[in-house]
Amino acid sequence: MTGLAALNDMDAPAFEALLGSVFEHAPWVARAAWARRPFADIADLHAAMMAAVRAAPVETRRAFLNGHPELAGPEARARSLTADSASEQGSAGLDRMGEADAQAFDRLNAAYRARFGFPFIIAVRGRGRAEIRSIFEARLGRDPAVEEATALEEVAQITRMRLDRLITP
């Protein structure tokens, strides 16, 4: 783990090397946040990173959301998830599903992407497969703008947990 004081003293390349993977396939978030140093605490760092995502143009935000893997989807089956995503999906048992559950998640993933244009995003740590599936089904009926905002809030939860594992106060 890296201390907050050390993080605040890092040059841009070192900062990006450490935090570039916190936001799935989006090192630009760390690059944008670096300019807002020094951070008073991890919450301040996280707020700067989320502000970068929220301030990004619509097309960039949409590409960012599309950089996330589907739950129990093709990347998971091919074992090509990032280490963080593999650990998170595994914590919810999404890497150990029977055929019926896998097919149900495939159908939900396809329906969700068709409706919203990006993959379903949820902070899975501490949740079981049945709970995730229930939330997945419920969110399919939402308004697209509400769902995008919800997806960003889920990203905020995921990334805060990741930062808490990387940075010490």
Give catalytic residues, as residue numbers: 68
In sequence order, what DSSP letters do the residues of 135-156 get, joined into one string? HHHHHTTS-HHHHHHHHHHHHH
Provide the token pair at 31.
Answer: 């690059």
Rounded CA separation 107/105 (Å):
5
Residue type, 163: L
- The set of long-range contacts for 12-20, using a CB threshold of 8 Å and a minimum separation of 24, is 18/166, 19/49, 19/163, 19/166
Rounded CA separation 123/156 (Å):
9
Provide the token pair at 37.
Answer: 């140093």
